[in-house]
Every structure is written in C-alpha cells, then in structure tokens.
Structure 1
Amino acid sequence: MNDAVIVAAVRTPVGKRNGSLSSIHPADLSAHVLDQIVERTGIDPGTVDDVVWGCVSQVGEQTFDIARTAVLSAGWPESVPGTTVDRQCGSSQQAVHFAAAGLISGQYDVVVAGGVESMSRIPMGSAQTNGSPLGRRYRERYGDEFPNQGIGAEMIADKWAISRTQLDEFALASHERAARATAAGYFDAEIAPVVVDGVKVTTDEGIRAGGTVEKLASLKPAFREDGRITAANASQISDGSAALLMMTSAAATAAGLTPLARVHTAAVVGSAPMPMLTGPIPATHKVLAKSGLKIDDIGVFEVNEAFASVVLAWASEFDVDLATVNPRGGAIALGHPLGGSGARLMTTMLHHMRAENIRYGLQTMCEGGGQANATILELL
C-alpha cells in the first residue's frame, strides 16, 4: 500500500507589504523554492510527476496556471506539469492533500506541493473587480452582503467572550515567539534566503518584538466601531512562497532520500460562510476521528493566525495549552501570504517537530467561504 511522505520542506522569508520581496514576480518567487527543493535534495526535476500549487488571487501576474509558469521559470523540463489550487487561505495546505492523495492512489511517485502569494503586487480582492462572485441563488440563500472576514472575527470574539486584552496579549506573544525563534536560528533550516538587488533577505520582515498591551490598546478597531479586532491582532498582508517535496516511501528509497514525516491523516470541512472562520473546530474534530488519535496525542499545533480570535476560540474548544500552539509564532508576526501560507505553516511545523522530536503535529486553517483543512503529520 502506498503512503505519502515529505522529504524536504522549504520556504522564502515572508516579506511585508511593499517590502523586500515586492519587486519579485510571484512566478519567480515560486521558482525560487522549486530551485531550493532541487538544491537541497539533488532530485532530478524531470522525475517530478506534478507540481500542485496554491494561489488565491488568480488574476494578472498570478493567473495562467502559475504552477506551470513556476515550473518553466525554474528551468525544469517542459514535461513536468503544474496545476493551481484555490481553497482560499488553505490553498497550499489543500495542495498537500491533493499531492498525498495522488501518491497514495498511485497516480504520482514524486510530487511537489506548495504555493505562493504576492499581496503587494496583486492586492487582496483584485480578482473581484469584474463582477461579484455571488450569483442570484447564493444571494437568495445568504443575502446580498459580501462575507467580511473581519466582521466574522468580531463575531467569534463575541461568541467565545474573548476580550480585547486577550486578543492583544496573544498578538504580542506571537511576535515574541517569532523573534525568539529568529534569534535562536530556528528558522534557518527552513528559509531559503532571497537575493533582491544584491541584498540577501534572510528573515521574516513582519516581526515586531517589544510591544506592550498599552500600546496596542491605543489602536482603533478595524472593522466595527465598538470592536476588538485591530491591525495588531490580525494577520499581516505579505509576500511569500513555500514548497514540500513529497514521495511514496518506495520512491524516496529509490532516490536515496530519507523521509522526514508522513501525511498521517487529512480532512477538509465546510462551515457557515459567516462568520466563516470557525471551520478549524469541526476540521480538527474530523481529522482526529479519522486518525484514531486524541487531542492529547498531538505534540504541536499550527493554527493559522488569520485573527487572534480564531486561534483563541479553537484553543478554548479543545482545552489546548497555548504553549503548544504556533510555538514559533504565527501569521500575526510572520505574515500571511494567502496561497503560500498552508505550505509555510506545514514547513515550520515539520522543522519544529524534527527539532523537538515530536511524533504528531496537527495543522488547521480557516478559509474564505466557510471551509477549513486539517492535517496530521507523523514524524519518521
């Protein structure tokens, strides 16, 4: 029976909006991590059966199947195909799921999964400029108002009685964890530095350590006049890319490569389109039920910090120690390059699992439209 193992995981530094990576075309940013997969493993790119790539705003520079243009931009053989996935913020996590399914079913022996988003060059919402994606029948069911993630985050804070102070404290902790991880060199093994105009970008640009609750309390709410969600306790607009080389164990042995982890269980769920962001809760229940594992079996969690309220509500539901959640910081500090975030989280989680000898890790993400992916990795 085939399995799906990860033999390499790499990412770019995450660039802040209009920061160092903003001058790089997203296909070239994608090609950079494909280059690194080859450099780090020595694999012949001609043996790759497919490249499955997440990208949310598939318009302009990110259209025309960016997975395929990334493959060709990397100089890989023209025989290597690529396909682009949009499951909103979970696009590259879904890319991993599709890659794993292809390996287990026998359609692939070797596949690369990952994703990219250049939010500086293709601003969020760019794909919605030519008409609404919501047709008559959707609007008859849910109303004319377009789903707003910020309002959804406020609704979650209301439902789970999460205070502004709790949100801000969580945001500060994300920055402090990311700063500590950077200073300790924990990200060095996963980051592939990018040279921009002769300058080597080696670290994530959004990290801001040393903040205070008092300073964050001075910020105005971003979505509701009496709200609790601000720019400080929400994810950052970012640029970045990440990739994972995946194989069957047999293919890895044949290539002389050592598997790092296997995809133990994968699940995806739908949830209400508003508040939209609660999907990680049922997704976690589903992936645990499918896996036969209990929450206490999991040694580390990556729950995407789209908003602090999403993670705090999830942790409350599962009574999880926050010390095990995003231990190296999350999207509030590191940034959230939409289509690349799922692969970035998985890359970070996998490297953390290896460093700390953690057998099981669980990743989950809320997604636009009311969906969520959940993945359990098992260290090998």
Structure 2
Amino acid sequence: MARSVIVSALRTPFGRLGGGLKDYEATELGSAVIKAALERIGLEPGEVEYVIMGQVLQGGAGQAPARQAAVGAGLPIEVPADTINKVCASSIRAIEIADSMVRAGDVEVVVTGGMESMSNAPYVLKKARFGYRLGDGTLIDVMTHDGLTSSFDGRHMVEQASFVSRELGISREEQDTWALRSHRRAVKAQDEGFFEGEIVPVGDVAADEGPRRDTSIEALAKLKPVFDPEGTTTAGNAPGVNDGASCVVVCSESFAARRGLEPLATILAQGYVADDFAYLARTPAKAGEQALAKAGKSIDDVERVEVNEAFSSVALNSVKMLGADPEKANVNGGAVALGHPIGASGGRIVTTMINELSRNGGGLGLAAICSGGGQGDALLIEVDLEMRVTAPVFEPVPHGEANGPRDAVQCEQPLRLELGHLDLGACVEAEEAALVLEVGADSHLPVRDLMRRERARLPLGHVLRLDQVLPNLVHGLGDLDLELEADHCGAAR
C-alpha cells in the first residue's frame, strides 16, 4: 500500500474578528494559501488531482467554496474539489481523507486544508421567505448558530466547556495559567521568527494578530465567566474568533520521489472518535490514542504534541489523558493565543508541528483536535530529516562566479545533476554547457520532470532550460519525454 507524505504546509496569518483580514472572503484566503503552497515547491496547478478544503460557516459563501478556492488559486477547472464541514476538525479531516485516497491508490496529489472568515459570517432571518403574518422575526448570527452552538443540546460551547471542566475537576486557576502560557509561548515564537516559514502574508497582514504581550495572570483572573456565572471558562482562557486559512499538500511517496519533492512529513496513522455531545475535552486524547495504537506507538515515542486549544480546559485534559509531557505540548502556544478560525485550525496545528519538529531534529508528532457535536480527530506524523537529505535539492548558480562552462553545482541522490553556468549574454554557445546525469538503475525520470524541478528550485535569473543545454537532444516539447537510460552522459555536442 502506498504511503502518504506531506510536501508543503502553509497558512495565512490568523486575524482577529474585524481585524486586518476582515475584508477577505474565506474562499479568497483559501485561494491565497493554496497558490502559495504550490509555488513554494514548484508544483504545477495541473498536477493536482483533487482538492479538499474545510469551511464551517458556509452561509452566503456561494456554491462549492472549495472549488472557488481552487479555481481562484489557478487550478484547472477539471480538478474536482470537496468542501468539508466537521466543525473545528474540518481541515484535519480533509488531510485524513486525502491520506486514505492516496493509500488506496485512487490519486497521487491532493491539496487539503481549510478556510474561515468569521468576520464575514452573515445574519439570517429564518422563515421570512413567505413573510410573517404575525409576530416578530429574529435575526440569527450564523457564526454562533452554525459554528459555536451545539445542535444537540442548544448549549453554546463555552457553556459545555464550563460544566465539563467542573465535572473533570479542572480549576479556573489551571485554565488561566495555561492561557498565559499559550500567549507567552506564542509571543516568544513570533519574536524568534518561528512562524515566518509557515505564514503567507495576506495584504498588509504578515503575523498573527492574537498573541498578547501585556497579559498577566492577574489580568486573566479579573475576567468574568461567560454564560455560566459559576463557570470557569472566560474570554481569556478560550480562543478568539478569527479569520484565516491553511493548506497541506499530500501526495504519494512515489510521486514525491519522481518529482524531486522534499517530504516534510510522512503520515503514519489517523484516529477519529465520537463521544457525548458536550465532552469535547475527552475527544482529542481518545483520537490520539487510536492513532498511536494503529501505528504501534506510545505517547513516549512522540517528540511533539499539538492539541487545538478549543479551550484551555481541552488542552489540559488532553495532555493529562494522553500521559504526554506538558513541555512537549503546544510549545509555540496554541489557539488561545494564535486564534481559532474554525475551518482552518486542523491544518494549522499540523503545519506548526511539522515546522517545530523540523527545527528540532525530527521525530514523531501527534496533532489532535476536538469538534462540535462531541467528535475528535488526530494525525500521527513523522518528520525524518534524513529523508530530506536524499531528495534532490537544486542550488542556484551564482552570477559571475563560474570560471567556465564546466563549473557546476551538484544535487543529491537519487539524481545528480551538474549544470555548467551558461552565460548567453556573453555569447557562450549552448553546446558548450556541460550536462552530467547519473541516474540510478531504478530511475525512469523524464526530461520534463528535470526541467520542471530545475525551474522550481532555481531562483529567477539562474534558470537554465535543458533544451538550451541539450540542443541536439531536446528539440521541443515533443521530445520532453525522452528517457535518460545511460548511467553517465557527457556534454551534449
């Protein structure tokens, strides 16, 4: 069975309600991050076979939001797209579905993720189509009705969190302390530039708007509980209402190898559970335990844990149930500080975890999230930095630093490519450029892939077309499928 790898993972900044992203529709945010995720790795839009994007607040968004985002990102209209609504777990569920599709052999490349503009959630007037004959009509806030209130018991999720926290013995002080931790860690991560590699600026917004530098345990303690006067959940130990999008590109290992794409992470297992409607605090850990069991791993094998901070109580209870080291959990803060645009958060925690593991030597990472209605999802991934070393990496040929056409830059196995520095401006003939290919016995890499990878990896100004380097072998698009079978080819003359 094929294994799935993640080859690109990005997100937008997360904006506050009515903040810097308020003028962008969710689908526009989705388009921006999809486009950037493909460009980051040089993947052509036409190579994508399927798109799965999560969005919870779809009222007023128009038909097929995921397809809107895909077409807006420049993907061909022939690429199918599904929109997922599993509330907060929407985008991590999108990744899970893509993983299953790839492992089943149905497709090789799937764009996944999620998008949400809570700032643009509309108000609706139910039963108004044929008019009111008597009495008042009430405007319904789609954000709270469809995103934040249980359809099963009518309770706002804050109410659910408060009574479950009381039942589980999670104190107000513990929740406030976790919230302060989240903000401090998020601010530190921002200051150290940890999020820069995963964030795609949108307009003038280049950083998350949620983390608070000035918060304190005293300030958090002064906040009143929301909905439940005797409760423990406040605006301070719960996440904000936010706008943002995430994108995770999933493909088969074999496709990544053929295209020379660096595997950022391998998906090892997924877990998904359901519980009583209000017990969100139990579902991330249960899903995480299921994923670990499927992979034959234990929590002691895991280097990093990302639990979506739907509430501080959820993160606290999840870490406790999993038996995880708290110092390995949400090390760069979580949704309480960074924000929770509900359809995008699952993709965010996966993206953040991949980057965190990559900075710290790799290893196993567990991403887990709860969702409205009492469900939970988890992904177990592995970041193997040695896998990346074996992926072809093309480096730029600096201008003016080559002493002749045979000065070259070399990439790693399984393909080694040495390109002479070709200075057409200095009238160096294309035939004088050296091309050396060493292809393994099991490699069947067409020239088209070499050209595409070369262009993707070299910055503008350093790109050499292989049809310039090999004028006698590559005469046009018709010859681009030429298969290089020789173990060693010298200069083309």
TM-score by length of 2: 0.72
Q: Give, in whole Å, the separation in 2 of the partners of 1:184 and 1:368.
A: 34
- Indicate the residue corresponding to 2:82 in structure 1: 83
Bigger radius of gyration among the two: 2
The corresponding residue for 1:157 is 165
In structure 1, how many angstroms separate the alpha carbons of the residues matched to 2:172 and 2:27?
Answer: 39
Shift of 1:148: 2.9
Distance, in Å, in 2 between the alignment partners of 1:254 and 1:204 is 36
Query: Equivalences for 1:89-128 in 2 at 5 Å?
Result: 89-122=88-121, 125-126=142-143, 128=145
Letter in 1 for 2:13: P
Aligned to 2:39: 39
Q: Please say if residues 50 and 112 of structure 1, whose CA atoms lie closer than 8 Å, have aligned partners that are also in contact.
A: yes
Taking the TM superposition and a 5 Å limit, the aligned residue runs for 1:217-256 are 217-256=221-260
**CA root-mean-square deviation:** 1.7
Q: Residue 470 of structure 2 aligns with which residue?
A: none
CA distance, structure 2, for counterparts of residue 289 and residue 354 of structure 1: 24
Unaligned runs of 5+ in 1: 135-141
Does the 8 Å CA contact 1:273/1:369 hold for their aligned counterparts?
yes
Displacement of 1:111 after TM fit?
Answer: 0.7
Mapped partners of 1:291, 1:126: distance in 2: 37
Structure 2 gaps, min length 5: 123-140, 385-493
Q: Name the structure with the higher helix share.
A: 1
Deviations 1:15-39 (A, max 9, x none): 0100001101111111101110222
Q: Which residue of 1 aligns with 2:196?
A: 188
Q: Which residue number corresponds to residue 48 of structure 2?
A: 48
In the alignment, structure 1 residue 261 sits paired with structure 2 residue 278: no
Check 1:133–1:172 CA distance in 2 against 1; reply closer, same or farther (3 A cut). Answer: closer
In structure 2, give the amino acid aligned to 1:109. Answer: E
- Specify whether residues 156 and 6 from structure 1 end up closer, same or farther in structure 2 by C-alpha distance, changes over 3 A only: same
CA gap of 1:277–1:318, structure 2 versus 1, over 3 A, is closer
Measure, in 2, the Cα distance between the counterparts of 1:8 and 1:54. 17
SS in 2 for 1:83: strand
Match of 2:463 in 1: none
Query: Per-residue CA shift, 1:345-370, capped at 9, x if unaligned?
Result: 11101111111113100011111111
Q: Which runs of 4+ in 1 moved over 6 A?
A: none
2:333: which partner in 1?
329
Check the 8 A contact 1:92/1:341 in 2, yes or no.
Answer: yes
Pair 1:289 & 2:293 matched: yes
Q: Which residue of structure 2 aligns with residue 139 of structure 1?
A: none
Q: Number of paired residues?
A: 364
- Please say if residues 156 and 310 of structure 1, whose CA atoms lie closer than 8 Å, have aligned partners that are also in contact: no
Contact 2:59 2:142 in 1 (8 A): no
Shift of 1:259: 0.8
Which residue in 1 is equivalent to 2:178? 170
Instruction: Tell me the residue number matched to 1:60.
Output: 60
Displacement after TM superposition at 1:321 (Å): 2.1
Q: Distance between the aligned counterparts of 1:120 and 1:163, measured in 2?
A: 31
Q: 1:223 deviation in Å?
A: 2.3
- Choose which of 356, 360, 372 in structure 2 pairs with 1:352: 356
Question: What are the Cα deviations for residues 315-369 of structure 1, in whole angstroms up to 9, with x where unaligned?
Answer: 2223322211111110000000000000011110111111111310001111111
For residues 60-114 of structure 1, the C-alpha deviation after alignment (integer angstroms, 9 at most, x for no partner) is 12x4121101111122211112110111100000000000001000111111110
Conserved? CA contact 1:59–1:127, under 8 Å: no
Most deviating of 156-165 and 355-364: 156-165
For the residues of structure 2 that align with 1:353 and 1:56, how far apart are their CA atoms? 29
User: Do the aligned residues in 2 keep the contact of 1:88 with 1:367 (CA within 8 Å)?
Assistant: yes
Please state how far the C-alpha of 1:118 moved relative to its aligned partner. 0.4
User: What is aligned with 2:6?
Assistant: 6
Instruction: Tell me the distance in 2 between the aligned counterparts of 1:80 and 1:133.
Output: 34
Question: Is contact 1:113-1:246 (8 Å) kept?
Answer: yes
Q: In the TM superposition, what whole-angstrom CA distance separates every residue of 1:43-66 from its partner, at most 9, and x where no partner exists?
A: 1111101010011112112x4121
Relative distance call for 1:318 and 1:38 in structure 2 (3 A) is: closer
Q: Is the 8 A contact 1:111 1:247 kept in 2?
A: yes
- Provide the secondary structure at the position in 1 that maps to 2:282: coil
SS in 2 for 1:60: coil
Could you say which residue in structure 2 is the equivalent of 1:363? 367
1:314 aligns with 2:318: yes
CA distance in 1, matches of 2:248, 2:364: 18
CA distance in 2, matches of 1:127, 1:57: 10
Residues 136-169 of structure 1: CA distance to partner in whole angstroms, max 9, x if unpaired? xxxxxx7xx4143112211232123222111111
Specify the alignment match of 2:69 in structure 1. Answer: 70
- Preserved contact between residue 299 and residue 323 of structure 2 (Cα < 8 Å): no
Q: Measure how far apart 1:294 and its partner are.
A: 0.6
Rounded Cα–Cα distance in structure 2 between residues aligned with 1:186 and 1:294: 28
Q: 1:133 to 1:14 in 2, by over 3 A?
A: closer
Whole-Å Cα distance in 2 between the matches of residues 160 and 210 of structure 1?
Answer: 30
Letter in 2 for 1:204: D
Q: Which moved more, 1:349-358 or 1:268-277?
A: 268-277
Q: Aligned partners of 1:287 and 1:315: how far apart in 2?
A: 15
- TM-score (norm. length: structure 1): 0.92
